[in-house]
Structure 1
Amino acid sequence: MSTDPTKYKLNHSMIRVKDPKRSVEFYEFLGMKLIQKLPNPDAKFDLYFLAYDSPKAVSHGNQWTDREGIVELTHNYGTEDDPNYKIANGNEEPHRGFGHLCISVDNVQAACQRIEDAGYKFQKKLSDGRMRHVAFVLDPDGYWVEVIGQKPLEETENVKETDLGTYRMNHTMIRVKDAEASLKFYQEVMGMTLKRSHEFEKNGFNLYFLGYGAPAPENTPEGVSPTAGQEGLLELTWNYGTEKDANFKYHNGNAEPQGFGHICVAVDDLDAACARFEEKKVNWKKRLTDGRMKNIAFVLDPDDYWIEVVQNEKLKNRANW
């Protein structure tokens, strides 16, 4: 048995939601399609998988485990009728950790105007602050969804249309305590490559973008992220000095209050990949052999974020979801 990390995919990011009807409606409004639903009535929860699937989408028509950039919504029965139920969006003290999802669009001005016209709220509009090329919309649970452009602002400022078919589920952001430890883990253990990084020395933080597949293209227009056209990236945000504080810890979203659940990597050979992780001496949340679900494993990263590991069913049948 062997496994090739260059064939891995950052398949999805899971967030818990209060009301699946409202949440599915929101992500469909952003142009995504419900490509899979896994009901679990015995355990009283359902899973909804949404992704970009137009003919122009990166993974159009692919089996759901053979994709990148999926958003998984987990709904625990009854939360929609509980007036006290509220998720932790990862951006409020003392439960910061997960930061946001990010979509990239063909026309950031027109896309944001369309979202605003539909009545959705913003954490940050394009016109707020100094960063005029980035906006953050709020989903029905208060999770942040970053909106970035695939073209320079000046190229789209007088264009009123936006084509949802060109949108990408670009990245998922998590905060990390020790950048060096996290970069080593995601590259050496999970097999990702560092596609680009930004150092904001004056502001005291760095951003690192990792993923599988093609490297970031060169010669990108000024003001446009080199990875804006890609899907399934992981953004690590490191605030200087956190690594020196022995008591500092981010909230992984699975301790109370809950919110973000995990990222998921689809692999070429699940048994071989897990054997490799064992050799790398990872911390396990769940081995393949633990519990009743023998088709998934969970690895812990240096900050105790959960990483689900599943079989890419295109490369090898296993679970037959």
Structure 2
Amino acid sequence: MMAENKYYPIRIAAAAQDSTLRVNNTCVSVKNATRSIEFYKKHFGMTFLGSKDFADMKFSLHFLSFAKEVGKNEQGEPEIFGTSGVLELAHSWGSENDPEFKINNGNEEPYRGFGHICFSVADIEKTCEKLEAEGVSFKKRMSDGRQKDIAFALDPDGYWIELVQYIKDTEGGPREDIGDKFNHTMIRVKDADKSVEFYQNVLGMKLVRRSDHENAKFTLYFLAYGVPSGQNSWSTEGVLELTHNWGTENDPDFKYHTGDWNTPGYDHVTISCNDPAALCNEIEQRYGDKISWGTKFNQGMVKNGAFIKDPDGYSIEIVPSDLVL
């Protein structure tokens, strides 16, 4: 049973009452941007939404998602941050020509922390057959291991892409093909009570599903905005999965790798809303130095944005929904 309001007892009103809050994107570094963009377009049918170059820092950001309606501002620019299910690829210029440059996929020691992204599909067997026919590598096929209803494909940098099926006989939800979805992003956390409470009370997410695995001694927590608890969330986008391996919370020296520029790999998730200033200001007022910030509101390179740190040190970017590239 989880502790109740032990670490972050105050529920931030600006988060709890803001219906515009969403998990917008997940950002990972890639070695070769062209190769990665083409991989996700060809094999998964993702749509390229746009790019942003930062010439002074010699890197670019590239955005993709599954087909969806993306609004446009008065200038006709896509409002990428006003939706969920976006994959952000960060590319340091020239890394594709550096034989020593290697991406950390988050699943190998000593850089274990981030686990995977997850795409949810209507027919997982058909999807896996298509990917295999196209030469996509797999970390786990459906026939491998005990779980026969999931698979893990590998992208060009070795990131794990979990594949699940949202049409399920045992749960409510879609009974027909509604298109592929970027369902969730998984990170490992040291203390489940502390992390779940942070995402619920500080950032306003709701715990929509919990899955205990006693034999393997771990628990999965799925959090999201706008999904009622207990509802089939496999067909939605913008879900965050927290994996807790039992006992890590009792080891004072235990720490996950949460991402940095020296070991390029997973970088952050982004949440967006109409008024990030109100959210960030209330978090500061309510919690003060109990909360760590990478960059406080409007003090970094992202206009009207901020980077907050979760209890493990993972970065969460907070931006306005109408931010444009």
Aligned equivalent of 1:275, options 250, 264, 281: 281
Letter in 1 for 2:292: N
Shift of 1:255: 5.7
- 2:294 maps to a residue whose letter is K
Q: CA deviation at 1:153?
A: 8.7
Go from structure 1 to structure 2 and tell me whether the alpha carbon gap of 1:264 and 1:293 turns closer, same or farther (over 3 Å shift): closer
Task: Give the secondary structure class of the aligned counterpart of 2:241.
Answer: strand
**Partner residue in 1 for 2:192:** 179
CA separation of 1:292/1:108 partners in 2, compared to 1, >3 Å: closer, same or farther?
A: closer
Deviates more, 1:209-218 or 1:231-240: 209-218
Q: Does the CA contact (< 8 Å) of 2:227 and 2:233 recur in 1?
A: no
Matched, 1:245 2:251: yes
Q: How many residues align?
A: 296
Which of 129, 132, 138 matches 2:154? 138
**Residue of structure 1 equivalent to 2:108:** 92
The one of 254, 260, 266 equivalent to 1:260 is 266
CA distance in 2, matches of 1:67, 1:276: 24
**Residues 14-73 of structure 1: per-residue CA shift (max 9 Å, x gap):** 0000001110011112121111211222321110111112xxx4xx23321111111100
Q: CA deviation at 1:217?
A: 6.0
Residues 1:298 and 2:314 are matched in the alignment: no
CA contact (8 A) 1:35 1:51 kept: yes
Question: Do the aligned residues in 1 keep the contact of 2:64 with 2:87 (CA within 8 Å)?
Answer: yes
Gaps of 5+ in 2: 1-12, 72-78, 171-175
Q: In structure 2, what is the Cα distance between the partners aligned to 1:24 and 1:292?
A: 25
Q: Could you say if the C-alpha distance between residues 229 and 207 of structure 1 is closer, same or farther in structure 2, counting changes exceeding 3 Å?
A: same
1:193 to 199, 206, 216: 206
**C-alpha deviation, 1:292, in angstroms:** 4.5
Q: State the AA in 2 paired with 1:297.
A: A
In structure 2, how many angstroms separate the alpha carbons of the residues matched to 1:117 and 1:217?
Answer: 36
Q: 1:215 to 1:201 in 2, by over 3 A?
A: same
Q: CA RMSD in A?
A: 2.0
Query: CA 1:197–1:245 in structure 2 vs 1: closer, same or farther (change >3 Å)?
Result: same
Of 60, 66, 69, the residue aligned with 1:52 is 66
TM-score between both structures, scaled by the size of structure 2: 0.86
Whole-angstrom CA distance in 1 between matches of 2:275 and 2:299: 18
Instruction: Please state whether the residue corresponding to 1:166 is helix, strand or coil.
Output: coil
Following TM superposition, by how much is the alpha carbon of 1:151 offset from its aligned partner in structure 2, in angstroms?
2.1
Alpha-carbon separation, structure 2, partners of 1:255 and 1:17: 12
Identity %: 42
In the TM superposition, residue 236 of structure 1 has moved relative to its aligned partner by: 0.1
2-structure distance, mates of 1:203, 1:6? 37
**Contact preservation (8 Å) 2:21, 2:225:** yes
Q: Distance in 2 between matches of 1:86 and 1:292?
A: 26
Q: Is the 8 A contact 1:97 1:174 kept in 2?
A: yes
TM-score, normalising length from structure 1? 0.87
Note the C-alpha offset of 1:12: 0.4
Q: Answer yes or no: is 1:32 the counterpart of 2:46.
A: yes
Runs of 5+ unmatched residues, structure 1: 155-161, 219-225, 314-318
1:124 aligned to which of 140, 147, 152: 140
Shift of 1:187: 0.1
Q: What CA distance in whole angstroms lies between the structure 1 residues aligned with 2:242 and 2:14?
A: 29
1:258 Cα deviation from its structure 2 partner: 2.2
Q: Aligned with 1:5: secondary structure?
A: coil
